[in-house]
Chains A and B, each alone.
Chain A
Amino acid sequence: MADGNGSIELAGLVKSYDGVTRVVDGVNLKVPDGAYCCFLGPSGCGKTTILRMIAGHEDPTDGEILIGDEQVVGLDPVERRTAMMFQSYALFPHLSVRENIAFPLRVRGAGTAERHKAADAMIEKVRLTELADRLPGELSGGQQQRVALARAAITGPRVLLLDEPLSALDEQLRVQMRQELSRMQRDLGITFVHVTHTQLEAIAIADIVVVMEKGKIRQAGPARDVYDQPRDRYVAEFLGGQNVLRGKVARIDGGSALISADSMRDVVVPLGAHGGVAVGDTVDFAIRRDDVGLSRPQAVSPESRAKVPSRVRSIEYQGNFVKVMLDDVGGDELIAYVPDRIFYLDPVSVGDVVLAGWDRDKARMLAR
């Protein structure tokens, strides 16, 4: 298996345990060699099952898995040249750090001196040299993770699969370790597939974010695309940072729709690629929370801005911005992230009547 190509292709991947419900329901995806790919979704959405199928710990009910353009269903993890980092790290409690990391070499028949030499080189890479003789139970969570990473990487896999690698760590360490993961991925130059339910984690490190729901991919693409241009309500709400408003199309005017709902009248939203929208349809559109500005009702604003009258329900100071929660618009919450400096030029208070406004072309129609 000389091919070092770690590109992954999933084609019509299906997994069902009982033959009725599909945990993974027809997933198609291409991950280029050397990419950092994050599967993002709530628990039970099938993301871990996909990971385990790529790893070879579970067989798909239907569909194909190609690694480096080679069909791998039915092959052992070793033959696939994948390595998995388990959620709880699965370090062997009876073996020292060095022996844990050398384990893959040991089962391949390497001699003690040879494998310890290789392990020590790896230990240095993950900066654990002074802990090489400790047992896993004597290490902190972050150190355990580095051992798991080193152990998975020592045989030079072409794909590294990480199952919720940061979930066992506290907040501060999580940020630190995700940088470390990113660094390791660049150092090793291999494909990383990372499963998480934390959107911040996903968009911070991934080249490709795959948003999943109920066994299906809702959207896959570069982190910024997925965050800034969510395809539908689910993706927008899961990634956060967006207001998703629902209303009825009152009129179609050129490339825009005029949308109305309770307390919202004739808000102009560009149709974009959603040409099939007709008058009377109920549609969702998204507007980023940091694109929403607040003004006093009497203030004049240019025609190019969409405006929704509302009232301040609560205010949270977040440091570099202020989170202003407004009264619901047609059953959807409306939140504005106002930059700290702008907010305090004319601070509003709870109960104030305000106009929430945004540039018309910033709003995005969502798929139904």
Chain B
Amino acid sequence: MSQTAVLPPARASAAPRARRRAPDRGGRPWTFYVLAALFVLYVLALYGPMICIYILSFQDVRGGLVFPMRGTSLHWFVDLFTQVRTGDVKGAFGRSIRLAAIVTVLTVIVSFMAGLAFRKRFVGDSVVFYLMIGSLVAPGLVLGLGVGLLCNLLGIEASWYGSALGAQLSWTLPFGVLVMFAVMSRFNAVWEEAARDLGASPWQTVVLVILPIIAPGLVAVALFGFTLSYDEFARTLLTAGSLNTLPLEIWSMTLNVTSPSLYALGTVTTIISFLIIGLSLGTIAWMQKRRARKTAR
């Protein structure tokens, strides 16, 4: 007799239970398809309108502002940069890039220093923090108006590199500082202490330890600074003075340009934005790769 014969016969094996879960054979549950469909709709809603603009910007000379497409060419892109009636796109673009570059540099420097300052608690630190964040919730137009008025009062002529720069910094700095806080929260203060213990001067600690460790975070701050400045509108509107930045130029074009060159401009600025983002992400990836390569030597 085998040992199993001692066991009572299993009753359950005769009649299968009424509700049994289908065995998992690696397929996806139906909820996956519902959620995936939802996500596809979301992406379409997000990018659909912009894609319409990109498509319409490639019409030929007969092109209009609405579908259907009339031919395909790069006519409106050429038109954008050659025709005077469309406005000073080239100049506005140059100003926007330069302004964004200045804003980026200042944002990175100030955010980095704020990040260092907030490593330790100090008297009134939360007041300083909320004062910094406060300007995020102030309506941009009102803030721009205020900056414009103040400049007027002080006798400073409004310009993209002066009053507009200040107005934009009131927007990019709080963001930069917030990103920096997230970056610094992952920075372990014991690294600094170790550096000091091993004989590093404060300056060596910053250059050899802190900066290299948080460099990817600084690139993220730079990316934020650049993109926020590059398409800033509300704060710049009343502070830029006589020369427009690109968003202001686009806005004025929507009022008086009735050709697909407006769409061409949208396509060009999108491409530039993507280039900048790609460049930033590429830089972060490059930093990490270089780090790995350096150690693989």
Contacts and interface: CB of A to CB of B under 8 A. Distances in A.
B213 to A, nearest CB: 5
Nearest to A57: B193
Interface in B160-210: 188, 190-191, 193-201, 204, 208-209
A135 B291 contact: yes
B197 A94 contact: no
Interface size range on A against B: 20 to 34
A298 to B, nearest CB: 47
Given A94-B212, A96-B295, A133-B296, A108 B199 contact: yes
Given A94-B213, A96-B294, A135-B295, A104 B198 contact: yes
B197 A57 contact: yes
Contacts of B201: 107
A83 interface: yes
A72 interface: no
A56 B198 CA distance: 12
Given A96-B294, A133-B297, A86 B194 contact: yes
B194 A90 contact: yes
- Name which of B193, B194, B204, B292 has the most chain A CB atoms within 10 A of its CB: B194
Given A88-B190, A90-B193, A107-B204, A78 B199 contact: yes
Contacts of B209: 92
Contact of A134 (B188, B204, B295): B295
B198 A107 contact: yes
| Residue among A55, A84, A88, A90 with the highest chain B CB neighbour number at 10 A | A90
Contacts, number: 65
Given A90-B188, A133-B297, A106 B208 contact: yes
A54 B225 CA distance: 44
Interface string A79-106: 0000110101010111010000001101
Nearest to A55: B197
Interface in A268-319: none
B200 A86 contact: no
B203 to A, nearest CB: 10
A77 interface: yes
Contact of B198 (A57, A93, A94, A103): A103
B93 to A, nearest CB: 37
Given A77-B199, A83-B198, A103-B198, A92 B204 contact: no
Given A55-B197, A103-B195, A103-B198, 20 more contacts: A56-B197, A57-B193, A84-B197, A86-B190, A86-B193, A90-B190, A90-B193, A92-B194, A92-B195, A93-B191, A94-B212, A94-B213, A96-B294, A103-B208, A104-B198, A107-B200, A135-B292, A135-B295, A151-B198, A152-B198
- Which 3 pairs across A and B sit closest by C-beta, in order of nearness? A90-B194, A104-B198, A96-B295
